[in-house]
């Protein structure tokens, strides 16, 4: 049986990351030209998506199909191996959309990952998330954070090296940990809504883990800051890669030790306790004025697991 994290969108990649190959420049150069290798193009962080037999799939291309575009782009990033095929990602953002009047016109489209994830297979979502996160990191970290000089990709795209010989600092992709928690008390759970949410939409509370803070401490602090509710025991549930731009959502259950709510008025404009039967009905779409998070989000899995525990 797979762990709960494997069921979350953007997790469960079919690729072997084969990190031992990242410094093998001769092997990488050969694989970039091999007939069985695959290249995923992205344009402005949007993966290339094609339709095949009525199914949306990642547009993984064979070497040679977009040679001119690849030559003009930043170095491709090696994502890993799918069986014996090497898989790369390439950022084509420097030029116009090649699916609109370019060499890829008529073959597919570059689609926002949130929208694409609604129809892509689970494994494709994970590959696209990995590609989006790493290419976005390169775009945001073109200069050395230590001295400000330009930096260049190394290790098949999994690090950057400062080009200043007097500095030479090496930089690695960052992932920002975020706790997302369902606070519960007896047969009720605490959900909140941000001002930007659609009408009637409520979700689990969430926030970034701060330096020097454990997961449990971050959960307790965030629930107190956002809703004024104290939390005792914190239990880990599952994690979800969240490539917007590059976070790891750490899902937890939190046992509340108080009930009175005082919202912060900044991140939330409302927070409420909901009983289990109401949440179960809302998940089935039977509560018109209460909208639950979609399956795309780990908040959905947290709420669903909590409801299921009672049913079991």
Question: Distance (Å, rounded) from C-alpha 74 to C-alpha 88?
Answer: 12
- Bridge partners of 206, per DSSP, are 180
- Bridge partners of 207, per DSSP, are 179
Q: How many domains does the chain have?
A: 3
Structural Rg of the chain based on CA atoms = 22
Asked if residue 93 and residue 30 are part of one domain, the reply reads yes
Number of residues in the chain: 312
- Bridge partners of 247, per DSSP, are 176, 242
Asked if residue 118 and residue 22 are part of one domain, the reply reads yes
Final residue belonging to a domain, choices 103, 133, 163: 133
Asked if residue 122 and residue 15 are part of one domain, the reply reads yes
- Contact call for residues 67 and 10 (beta carbons, < 8 A): no
Asked if residue 230 and residue 150 are part of one domain, the reply reads no
Asked if residue 304 and residue 187 are part of one domain, the reply reads yes
pTM of the model: 0.94
Distances (CA, A) of 99 to 60, 95, 107, 183: 14, 11, 7, 45
Token representation of residue 182: 């369902």
Asked if residue 83 and residue 197 are part of one domain, the reply reads no
Question: Distance (Å, rounded) from C-alpha 298 to C-alpha 288?
Answer: 22
pLDDT number for residue 76: 98
Asked if residue 57 and residue 97 are part of one domain, the reply reads yes
pLDDT number for residue 138: 98
Final residue belonging to a domain, choices 133, 165, 188: 133
State the helix-helix crossing angle for 298-311 and 276-283, rounded to 10 degrees. 120
Q: In what order do the strands lie in the sheet with 159-162?
A: 151-154, 159-162, 170-171
Asked if residue 41 and residue 66 are part of one domain, the reply reads yes
Contacts of 143 (CB under 8 A, 6+ apart): 149, 150, 151
SS3 state of residue 34: coil
pLDDT number for residue 237: 98
Measure CA 74 to chain center.
22
Asked if residue 185 and residue 149 are part of one domain, the reply reads no
pLDDT in tens, the chain (312 residues): 679 999 999 999 999 999 999 999 999 999 999 999 999 999 999 999 999 999 999 999 999 999 999 999 999 999 999 999 999 999 999 999 999 999 999 999 999 999 999 999 999 999 999 999 999 999 999 999 999 999 999 999 999 999 999 999 999 999 999 999 999 999 999 999 999 999 999 999 999 999 999 999 999 999 999 999 999 999 999 999 999 999 999 999 999 999 999 998 889 999 999 999 999 999 999 999 999 999 999 999 999 999 998 654
Q: How many CB atoms lie within 10 A of CB 220?
A: 22
Asked if residue 220 and residue 102 are part of one domain, the reply reads no
Asked if residue 149 and residue 76 are part of one domain, the reply reads no
Asked if residue 193 and residue 77 are part of one domain, the reply reads no
User: 103 lies in which domain range?
Assistant: 4-133
């Amino acid at each position: 049986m797979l762990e709960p994290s494997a069921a979350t969108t953007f997790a469960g990649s079919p690729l072997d990351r084969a990190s031992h190959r990242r410094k093998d420049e001769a092997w990488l150069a050969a694989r970039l030209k091999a007939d069985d290798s695959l290249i995923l193009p992205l344009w402005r962080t949007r993966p290339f998506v094609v339709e095949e037999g009525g199914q949306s799939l990642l547009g993984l291309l064979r070497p040679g199909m977009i040679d001119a575009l690849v030559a003009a782009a930043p170095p491709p990033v090696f994502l890993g191996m799918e069986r014996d095929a090497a898989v790369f990602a390439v950022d084509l953002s420097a030029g116009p959309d090649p699916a609109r009047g370019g060499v890829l016109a008529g073959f597919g489209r570059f689609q926002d990952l949130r929208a694409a994830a609604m129809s892509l297979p689970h494994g494709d979502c994970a590959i696209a998330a990995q590609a989006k996160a790493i290419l976005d990191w390169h775009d945001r970290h073109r200069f050395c954070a230590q001295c400000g000089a330009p930096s260049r990709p190394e290790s098949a795209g999994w690090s950057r090296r400062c080009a200043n010989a007097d500095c030479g600092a090496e930089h690695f992709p960052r992932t920002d940990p975020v706790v997302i928690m369902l606070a519960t008390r007896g047969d009720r759970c605490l959900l909140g809504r941000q001002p930007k949410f659609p009408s009637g939409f409520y979700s689990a509370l969430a926030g970034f883990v701060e330096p020097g803070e454990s997961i449990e401490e971050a959960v307790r602090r965030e629930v107190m800051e956002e809703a004024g509710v104290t939390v005792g025991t914190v239990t880990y549930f599952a994690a979800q890669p969240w490539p917007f731009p590059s976070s790891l959502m750490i899902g937890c259950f939190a046992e509340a030790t108080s009930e009175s709510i005082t919202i912060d008025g900044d991140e939330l404009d409302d927070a409420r306790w909901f009983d289990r039967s109401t949440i179960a009905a809302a998940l089935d779409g039977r509560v018109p004025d209460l909208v639950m998070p979609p399956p795309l989000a780990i908040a959905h899995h947290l709420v669903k697991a909590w409801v299921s525990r009672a049913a079991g």
